[in-house]
Amino acid sequence: MLQHKPSHTIILLLSFLLFSTFLFSQSAKQEELEARRQELRLEIQKINQLRLENKSKEKSQLTLIQDFNHKIKVLDNLIKVTNQQANLINRDINYNQDKISSLRNELKVLKGDYADMMVKSYKSKNEQSRIMFLLSADNFKQAYKRLQYMKQYTDHQKQQGETIKDKTAELQAINLDLIKQQETKKQLIAENKEVQKSLESERKQHQELMTSIKKNLSIYSAQIKQKQQEADRIDAEIDRIIKEAIAKSNKKAGNTSVASSTNFALTAEEKVLAANFVSNKGKLPWPVEKGYVTLGYGTQPHPIDNSLTIKSNGVRIATEKGSKVRAVFDGEVSAVLKMKNVNPIVMIRHGDYLTLYKNLSEVYVKEGDKVTTKQIIGEVFTNPSNGETILSFSLSKGTATENPASWIFKM
């Protein structure tokens, strides 16, 4: 059975398509890494800015450790991302160097062939030689073929000249691209060295602080337990209030089944609102204009005493003094909570979803108010003793809490 080998043209086309796909993939990955690198650099700027603003304030050892841990994590991520970028550029540089070497070899062969053609053209340049070449044919058909050959030879000569011109231009473009890539790589390596110095400094300070803390670890552990108990008390009270709101809503709708005790009975309008809220998952705006997350969602070991755990039903966001709090989506103020020894909390309902904004100094809304996305609903409380301005933000579907980082844009 005969086997057909793929033609040279098809092989070239497939190679071009694979190369184009490779270039597009490399470019997209590079853009993604650069965007991530800029985000991390911006977060470090925010951390440094807030540190500078609160420099004169006496922070607790627990807060300082959290600050160091967060900045170390961000710096570490920045180094990793920058290294990935440098490695990707290095692959591009190696590819371009191979391409330059290949093009130079191609040009050498092309120029050699072109030189041979020019010599032959010169030798047969006079008109008499051409006419004699045609007249020496045995018949008209052979003379016609010789005429066609002469035309094809001239066309090929021109095409060869154009190919050399194009390849030379391509070589020059790749050389320029290579120079840019090498300069970018050089800058990334220089930046990474500076970040590495900063990381080492942060780790040194962190280690010194931890050594000091471990001398009185039992005292700090007691403080941690006390803070967690207070957080659990607030969460339990919020959970009770949410259940009351659900029961009230379901009673009004005539829905008294056991299954409805953890979820709201929704009107047609509320179902649309809930669907819109879900469709914006991952795209919701931050509840403050500027800030960064100092404590993530979920159960996690405490940074000072690993035998203790932090249970976080939301996230803590460090922001600047006087920061306004914004509703992350359209909804209705379900409650403004005021508990003993706790700063005000605003709870907003978005169909069967709830968002909670804790640790406010001022509240600009009241229960029953309709709010819109990014509407100012209050101001974050600033602790006068340490200068910290921390917003606690949580999100739940009925009584089941969810990770805000999955809902808020680039959190």
Say if residue 403's pLDDT is above 90.
Answer: yes
User: Number of H helices and number of E strands within the chain?
Assistant: 6, 13
For residue 381, the SS3 value is coil
Strands 390-397 and 314-318: antiparallel
Residues 6 or more apart from 81 whose CB is under 8 A from it? 33, 36, 37, 40
H/E element, 361: strand 360-363
Closest CA to 328 of 381, 282, 369: 282
Q: How far apart are CA 257 and CA 366, in angstroms?
A: 30
pLDDT (0 to 100) of residue 118: 58
pLDDT (0 to 100) of residue 344: 96
pLDDT (0 to 100) of residue 3: 47
Determine the average pLDDT of the residues in 229-240.
Answer: 90
pLDDT (0 to 100) of residue 218: 84
CATH 2.70.70.10 domain locations along the chain: 226-406
Say if residue 20's pLDDT is above 60.
Answer: no
Q: How far apart are CA 371 and CA 327, in angstroms?
A: 7
More confident of the two residues 3 and 161:
161
Check if the beta carbon of residue 324 is closer than 8 Å to that of residue 378. yes
Hunting for tokens 């710096």 — which residue is that? 75
CATH architecture group of domain 226-406: Distorted Sandwich (2.70)
Residues 6 or more apart from 50 whose CB is under 8 A from it? 318, 319, 320
Using one digit for the tens of pLDDT, what is the confidence trace for 31-75? Answer: 888 988 898 898 888 888 877 776 666 677 777 888 888 889 999
Question: Which pLDDT band holds residue 325 (cuts at 50, 70, 90)?
Answer: very high
Using one digit for the tens of pLDDT, what is the confidence trace for 266-312? Answer: 889 999 999 999 999 999 999 999 888 988 999 988 888 878 888 89
User: Which of 3.40.462, 3.40.50, 1.10.10, 1.10.287 is the CATH number of 11-214?
Assistant: 1.10.287
Residue 349 phi/psi, 5° resolution? -105, 135
Hunting for tokens 């092309």 — which residue is that? 110
More confident of the two residues 116 and 41:
41
- From residue 80, alpha-carbon distances to 91, 189, 194, 381 in Å are 17, 12, 14, 35
Say if residue 156's pLDDT is above 70.
Answer: no
DSSP code per residue over 274-341:
HHHHHHTTTTBPPSSSS-EEEE-SEEEE-SS-TTSEEEESEEEEE--TTPEEE-SSSEEEEEEE--TT
CATH 1.10.287 domain locations along the chain: 11-214
Please give the mean pLDDT across all residues of the chain: 82
Whether the model pTM is above 0.75: no
